[in-house]
Amino acid sequence: EHQAAVHRLSLTIRPVAILVRTPEELAICDGLIIPGGESTTIALLARLSGLLDPLKEFVKIKPVWGTCAGAILLAQSVIGAKKGGQELLQAISISIARNGWGSQVESFEVPLSVEGMKDSETPFIGVFIRAPVVLELSSSPEDTPIQVLARLPAELLPPALSGLDDSDPKTIVALRQGRHLLTTFHPELTPDDRFHEYFVRHCVLSTI
Ligand SMILES: NC(=O)CC[C@H](N)C(=O)O
């Protein structure tokens, strides 16, 4: 779905999206999208295919966007990892909780207003499927500042988080830290390609 979305973009430079399964394929990329799925399994498969260490090096120099499980992999630390722990790429200085909104049946869709997005008056429909919850943003002055792009509106918080203050980090569902992008939901499951355009335009093309 991510690949199809990138190929639908009409930009002057037409990006080519390939599926990355080997270190050789990763080596030719200018940016990477880590999709949703199951973060422990993604990390395990990355290790088995010899991609884990190349990925750790990749995030140090190139832009990466993580959606849902991909967002967990990009975090500095995770709460609720499976027994045996969880490999992380630690590209973005946040801590995150797996399945923080509840189980599969608590999946939901919410219209989001997104900072800096094209046609920002049109809400972006966030599809949340066993999504992670951002717990904390790093406050270290050495870190590149984190820019919050979207929050769940207080009145639309799911029951697990109702009553939260608007400024609570748990309401953050999209953010950017330097060249990296993170969404706890799945933009690739909607026909709206604005997040893909944002990543390609502002995170990838601006760094090559
Ligand atoms: N939709 C998703 O990517 C779910 C993520 C999954 N809950 C995990 O912990 O990795």
More confidently predicted of 114 and 101: 114
What's residue 169's pLDDT? 95
At residue 163 the predicted structure's pLDDT band, cuts being 50, 70 and 90, is confident
What's residue 146's pLDDT? 96
What's residue 81's pLDDT? 85
Any atom of ligand 1 within 6 Å of the Cβ of 37: yes
- ipTM of model: 0.95
Q: Is the pLDDT of residue 166 over 90?
A: no
Mutate to test the pocket of ligand 1, among 34, 82, 96, 99 (most ligand atoms within 8 A of CB): 99
Any atom of ligand 1 within 6 Å of the Cβ of 17: no
Question: Which tens digits make up the pLDDT trace of 107-146?
Answer: 889 999 999 999 989 999 999 999 999 999 987 889 999 9
* Mean pLDDT (the chain, rounded): 93
What's residue 28's pLDDT? 97
Contact 1, 189 (CB under 8 A): yes
At residue 103 the predicted structure's pLDDT band, cuts being 50, 70 and 90, is confident
Helix (H, G, I), strand (E, B) or coil at 92: strand
Q: Which of 188, 196, 197, 203 is catalytic?
A: 188
What's residue 104's pLDDT? 77
- 56 Cα: distance to centroid of ligand 1 (angstroms): 20
> In this structure, how many other beta carbons lie within 10 angstroms of the beta carbon of residue 163?
8
Contact 199, 65 (CB under 8 A): yes
At residue 153 the predicted structure's pLDDT band, cuts being 50, 70 and 90, is confident
Tell me, yes or no, if 68 is annotated catalytic: yes
At residue 23 the predicted structure's pLDDT band, cuts being 50, 70 and 90, is very high
**Ligand 1 atom showing the smallest separation from residue 68 Cα:** 3
What's residue 70's pLDDT? 98
More confidently predicted of 157 and 17: 17
Tell me, yes or no, if 186 is annotated catalytic: yes
Any atom of ligand 1 within 6 Å of the Cβ of 106: no
**Ligand 1 atom showing the smallest separation from residue 186 Cα:** 1
| Beta-strand runs (E) in 37-166 | 64-67, 75-79, 92-97, 108-112, 124-128, 133-137, 146-151
Return binding residues for L-glutamine: 37-39, 98, 129-130
Q: Whose CA is nearest to atom 8 of ligand 1?
A: 38
**174-189 burial, b for 16+ CB within 10 Å, e for fewer?**
bbbbebbbbbbbbbbb
Q: Which of 2, 68, 197, 203 is catalytic?
A: 68
Mutate to test the pocket of ligand 1, among 33, 39, 105 (most ligand atoms within 8 A of CB): 39
Percent of the chain at pLDDT exceeding 70: 100
